[in-house]
Amino acid sequence: MPFNQKQQKGYNGNTAVKVAGEQHQYTLEEIKDFQKCMTDPSYFINNFVKIVNIDKGVIPFKTYEFQDRIIKAITDNRFTICKLFRQSGKTTVVSAYCLWFALFHSNKEVMILANKLATSLEIMSRIVFSYESLPDFLKWGVKEYNKSSITFENGSKIKCQATSASAIRGRSVALLIIDEFAFLNKDLAEEFIASSFPALSSSSESKLVLISTPFGLNHFYKIWHNSEQGLNNFVRVEGKWQEARTQEWYEEQCKLLGYDKVKIAQEIECVVGDTLITVRNDDSGEIFTLPIEKFYNWLPV
């Protein structure tokens, strides 16, 4: 990373944030690590990204196998759809990947959208924390730095906002992340798909990542199902709770969900349409088994 002769340290008094043009004298070991990080996001994330653990405080980010699959799928493909259980760490891995992408690609725009502005801001806050925790030799200086936008001196930007039909209209987005895509309002999701997917598809390099816990058989399910049928170009990645959590965790989540079989199947098991569930008719008391797809078809719209 080239720097000019400016001597100012820190951005607006924050010494963890480099000012554009701030110098760094590289060691041979740092140059080797920089080169590895440039070509391998997993190496960057597992060796240099730090996160806040609710029990342990600040710790190095060590990815689970399904998170490695997400990283590889996004890196190798333009369209990725990720179906993950609740509390899977999806926000953490997405934020780390966005940081890597912006730091090691020049003049690229990363856009993070979510069903709620607060959710996208949470992802940005994790990006900010991870950036500030990096060693200096991996940091670009910044030109803009606030809670919803970062512009690095390499010309790359990371922005976040709530999903809207016009969120990326007129923008040249290189990496678009949509978190909790299944939880978008049906009409908004359809408007966004109609207005944004064609624009992204017209580019030969832009990447689109849909990531969510399932929420019924809606637009997210349809894209996933169509991918299984070979009707779109999305590459599927699924994370199972058994890959990252214990049986005790599973039982605690079931308790928190009130032992609601549909919610458990949806939010923890990440079921598909033909998965059998057992339900009880509140009026007759009858208990029977049916595919979850049939159950959803009975629900009022």
What are the catalytic residues? 180
Widest Cα–Cα separation across the chain: 79
Phi and psi for 288 in degrees, rounded to 5?
Answer: -150, 165
What are the residue ranges of helices labelled H in 144-301?
A: 186-202, 219-228, 247-256, 261-267, 292-298
Token digits for 35?
């080169």
227 vs 194: CA distance, rounded Å: 18
Tell me which H or E stretch contains 133.
helix 117-133
Cβ proximity of 65 and 243 under 8 Å: yes
Separation of CA 193 from chain center = 18
31 vs 276: CA distance, rounded Å: 54
Tell me which H or E stretch contains 28.
helix 28-39
281 vs 96: CA distance, rounded Å: 45
Best CA proximity match to 175, nearest among 119, 94, 242: 94
